[in-house]
Structure 1
Amino acid sequence: MNTYTVRNAHPHEFSAIGKLMVIVYSSLDGFPKESEQPNYYRMLANVGDLTTKPHTEILVAVSPENTIAGAVVYFGDMQYYGSGGTATQEPNAAGFRLLAVDDAARGQGIGKLLTLACIQKAREQKREQLIIHTTRAMQTAWKMYEAIGFHPSADLDFMQGQLPVFGFRYKFTA
């Protein structure tokens, strides 16, 4: 089994990360396809563009050979989070979106590793909470988030077209 580490993505990796995200999200049962939400898939393909926003970075889990096994976009300032609903107005919060794990690396804890890296980053930035969103099509991730300590927050829920999107919070204790 490989030992993966988390680091910031390099700009020359952004295109490959975008392709990974498109593949992962388009293969989810019950998730809208590219023909249904072309703007969303365009954003996934060009995920590196999100890093032009302040306090926004892409984290990757890489093997010792530097192969990208998964990625996530971390937002240190929620005003740049870019979701529907009220999440972008949350004070003293960070968030992450677009967590994707390569099929070849599934079941090796990559999603959890990336999630814990985001929790650590938010803790270091002294945020009061970390906000995420997920859908029913992402049940594996949903269960992992709850096991780590995220709690559903209906006030963060919204609709993305015809797709219900559910908000979760991870609150830091003093």
Structure 2
Amino acid sequence: MDTMIRAAEPDELTELGEMTATTYLDEGLLTYGAADPYLKVLRDTARRAAHTQILVAADTDGTLLGSVTLVLDGGPYVDVADGPEEAEFRMLVVRNEARGRGIGEALVRECLSRARRAGKRRVVISSSSQMHTAHRLYGRLGFVRAPERDWDPFPGVTLHVFACEL
């Protein structure tokens, strides 16, 4: 693969926030579209970076192609990780023009690797039901559904949980 997976640089955070928000909007993943209050959270990569690891996929020329938020040690960005043995990742996005190159898989593999090195026993992710491509990726990488952990961030929206034993 001609991309590098690495930690985000501070001067990339605004672009990454816009990439994340745009991807969620383009994919129809926001209940209220452009008026969805979650857009503010998606755009605020600088705040996420203060509490998590923001990983990026970048071309050799530095073009940002995708990103993911990795939560290793609890904090305000934990949705489903339960205790110190679990890590979680969130907000996995790949630019439309970069899809089909294995970037999402490389980002998830890096999350698994970092969680393993941090001594975690499991990585979890929550995902909306319409994210079929992501669900296939998670399955290929060893994630299994954990329906007993599904949750509703707000009424009428259920997120499905997947877990991968390390």
TM range (shorter): over 0.9
Tell me the SS of whatever aligns to 1:78. Answer: coil
Report the number of matched residues: 164
1:19 alignment counterpart: 18
Greater shift after overlay, 130-139 or 153-162?
Answer: 153-162
Q: Pick the aligned partner of 1:117 from 83, 90, 110.
A: 110
Q: Pick the aligned partner of 2:162 from 146, 158, 168.
A: 168
Q: Pick the aligned partner of 2:148 from 155, 159, 164.
A: 155
Question: Residue 42 of structure 1: CA displacement?
Answer: 0.2
- Provide the C-alpha distance between the structure 2 equivalents of 1:60 and 1:115, rounded to a whole number of angstroms: 11
- Provide the C-alpha distance between the structure 2 equivalents of 1:19 and 1:31, rounded to a whole number of angstroms: 14
Aligned partners of 1:80 and 1:88 also within 8 Å? no
String of CA shifts for 1:57-111, please: whole Å, max 9, x gaps: 100000000111000001112344332xxx2433411110000100110111110
5+ residue gaps in structure 1?
A: none
The answer to whether structure 1 residue 61 and structure 2 residue 57 are counterparts is yes
5+ residue gaps in structure 2?
A: none
1:34 alignment counterpart: 34
Counterpart mapping for 1:67-82 below 5 A:
67-82=63-78
Aligned partners of 2:57 and 2:107 also within 8 Å? yes
Counterpart mapping for 1:128-139 below 5 A:
128-139=121-132
1:48 alignment counterpart: 46
CA RMSD of aligned residues (A): 1.5
Question: Residue 142 of structure 1: CA displacement?
Answer: 1.0
Q: TM-score, normalised by structure 1?
A: 0.88
Q: Name the CA shift for 1:136/1:31 in 2 (closer, same or farther; >3 Å).
A: farther
Question: Residue 48 of structure 1: CA displacement?
Answer: 2.1
Q: Pick the aligned partner of 1:146 from 139, 143, 150.
A: 139
User: Identity of counterpart residues, as a percentage?
Assistant: 27
